[in-house]
Structures are given as C-alpha cells and as structure tokens.
Amino acid sequence: MGGIVRHDWQVSEVEALFALPFADLMFQAQSTHRAHHSPNAVQMSTLLSIKTGACPEDCAYCPQSVRYDTGLERERLVPLDEVRKSAQAAKDAGATRFCMGAAWRSPKKKDVDAVVAMIREVRALGMETCATLGMLTPAQAHELKDAGLDYYNHNVDTSPEFYGEIITTRTYQDRLDTLSAVRDAGLNVCCGGIVGMGETTRDRASMLATLANLPQHPESVPINQLVRVPGTPLAGQKDVDPFDFVRTIAVARIVMPKAFVRLSAGREVMSDELQSLCFLAGANSIFYGEKLLTTGNPDVARDRALLTRLGIEPFTPPGLAAVADAHAHEEPHVHGPGCSHAHAPARPGAACNATRQR
C-alpha cells in the first residue's frame, strides 16, 4: 500500500477501493498521503474568470454555456491591469497560484496573445500561474509554456462511458488530446472531474482510473461537487451522499499518490466537518477566494478560521519559498497555527469563480 505509483489500474480494482469499509479506506488514503505529502499543509489557488459566458460548448453543468438560460451576464476579456490587481490581492490573501479561466471552446491567436501578457504579469508577482482556456493545439501549449505558464487545467469531467450524457460538442478523445499537448509542452497538468452529475460509482472509478493510467499523473486533481445552477440541465440532480464524496477524494489520493488533490467546487455548501474529512482523505489543495468562475466559494475569513482550527498551514511551493520567506512579516498571509498577525480579508478577483469544471 503506502503509496506506490502505478499506471495500470483496472476499473474493477478502483471500484473495490470505493467499496472498502469507510475506516479502511480512510486509513489507506491517509497512509498514502503521509508517504508523499506533508499531512498538515494545503496548497491554495485563486481563480479569476478572465472571460465569462457565451461559451459555444454544451457542458450540462455549466452556467457559462450560451445554450442555457442561467441569467449569467457575458463579459469581455478582463483588462490586463485588472488581472494584475486581482493576482496581487490573491497573493496578499495567501494564495500561491493564480488561475485564469476563459469560456472558450479553444482560444484564437489574439486570445493566446492576451493570455500570454497576463501570464507574464502574474509571474512577475512571484506567483505560480495556471490557465484554463479550452482545447489547445500543441503549438498553443508551447506558446503558453514559453510565456511562463506553470499549469494548464483541462478536466475530463467524468468517465469515458458517461461522458456523452454530459457533453456532446467535444469528445473525450479531444480532451485527452489537449492533455497530451499540454504534457508534451512541459506544462504541469491539472485535471479532474465532477461528482454528482448522475454518474454511478463505477463511473467515478472509471474516471479516476483514466487519470491514474495517463502516462504521467496530473500534478493537480480537482474533485468538484456539482454546483446545481438553475437553468442548466443538471439543476435538478440529487444531493451527493457526503461520504460518497469523501470516498472519491480518498480513492483519488490512493491511485494518484503524488498529486495534489484539490477540494474544488461545491465547498460553499459543505460543512467544516465535511471539509475536514476531505482533508483527512487526502485533499491538500483548495480554491481560495470568495468566488470560483461563476459560482460561490466559502469566504476567506471562514477558510482562515477552519485552517487554523485544524492546524493546517498553507503549502508554499519550493520555487516560491524564497520569495515567501523574504516577505514573511511584510505581506498579509493566511494565518497558521500560532500566528497572531491581523490582516484585512482581501477580495481576490470580484469576477472570479469556482471551478471551471472544464
């Protein structure tokens, strides 16, 4: 057990993990977690929607699709200066990674040029950068990498078998092709999925087996709980059993031992106790800030209080540690245990929102 990295998971094996008694699953997940990660550190990303709404795709969960009447106002590309200010605010609040999401099927040349400029601005602040812009060609992936992009997010969303129930405007293979282009360009991969869209446990197992059997595991694996947005086809989905959600986190931790498993969309409606169980199951990353792409997120003060109560400290990526040390007592940051600094809560990115469950 103890966290062996494998790429040959059978779906039936992953399903068997889901079927373990809860305590056994949690023990295995926690053991795996401790073999590869600091048990009391959580990485924090902030997400900004740089271009909201009017997306031509038909992802059944997404309020940004032009096909669904969700009342979402479409917005033009956010100006560079606003991106810089949002990133600075996110950094001041304690985030180490700034993610920029745009509601595109795939970016055009002018879009990539604009995002390249944004990446350079955010990089100059000493933050990691992530983007989620839709499907990419290999050349676009290289261009973004050359600009200093660290991570690219592109979720598989669900299992290959269930996928057609959720999206018809791009194929599962399209997604895998983008992931391959991103990896080949030398970018870190952020890729996960959504729980609560009507999928079975086998679908959840199949999705995680798909991710775990990629040639290299994604560095970040966001696990989202469906946010049921009125007007979308999935608005009437049933509640997810909280223990089933925790099980999904735990199994993701076991099959991708080194990945940062991100507790993503849906956190706003989770109790502190449920979030704590997710951390215990191996989640070690969150979106931090009051909004995700277009849905809510717990406010910064609540997150700070919860992390302090649990004795969890913000994870600083090794490449950013020197910068963080230099500013340790100058910059506002998230409170760790014993920290007595008082900082005004920042509002990273007013237009920013939850996980683009791309």
Catalytic residues: 55, 59, 62, 99, 130, 190, 262
CB 286 within 8 A of CB 253: no
CA distances (Å), 19 to each of 25, 223, 249, 352, in order?
A: 8, 19, 14, 37
> Tokens 């550190």, residue?
41
Q: Pick from 28, 43, 49, 64: which binds ligand SF4 (CB under 6 A)?
A: 64
DSSP 8-state assignment for residue 239? P
Nearer to ligand SF4, 134 or 348 (CB): 134
Q: Are strands 313-314 and 41-51 parallel, antiparallel or unpaired?
A: parallel
Q: Which of residues 78-137 bind ligand SF4 (CB under 6 A)?
A: 103, 134
Q: Are strands 260-263 and 220-225 parallel, antiparallel or unpaired?
A: parallel
| Shortest distance in whole angstroms from residue 107 CB to ligand SF4 | 12
> Tokens 């089933």, residue?
244
158 binds ligand SF4 (CB under 6 A): no
62 binds ligand SF4 (CB under 6 A): yes
CA distances (Å), 4 to each of 29, 40, 144, 151, in order?
A: 12, 21, 32, 24
**Contact region with ligand SF4 (CB under 6 A), list: 60-68, 174-182, 204-212, 283-291:** 60-68
150 binds ligand SF4 (CB under 6 A): no
Q: Pick from 44, 49, 51, 57: which binds ligand SF4 (CB under 6 A)?
A: 57
Nearer to ligand SF4, 107 or 134 (CB): 134
Q: Are strands 151-153 and 41-51 parallel, antiparallel or unpaired?
A: unpaired
Nearer to ligand SF4, 15 or 57 (CB): 57
Q: Pick from 32, 65, 96, 232: which binds ligand SF4 (CB under 6 A)?
A: 65
CB 166 within 8 A of CB 60: yes
| Shortest distance in whole angstroms from residue 221 CB to ligand SF4 | 17
Task: Give the distance from CA 69 to its chain's centroid.
Answer: 25
Nearer to ligand SF4, 38 or 169 (CB): 169
The residues of the shown chain that bind ligand SF4, judged by CB under 6 A, are 55, 57, 59, 62, 64-65, 103, 134, 356-358
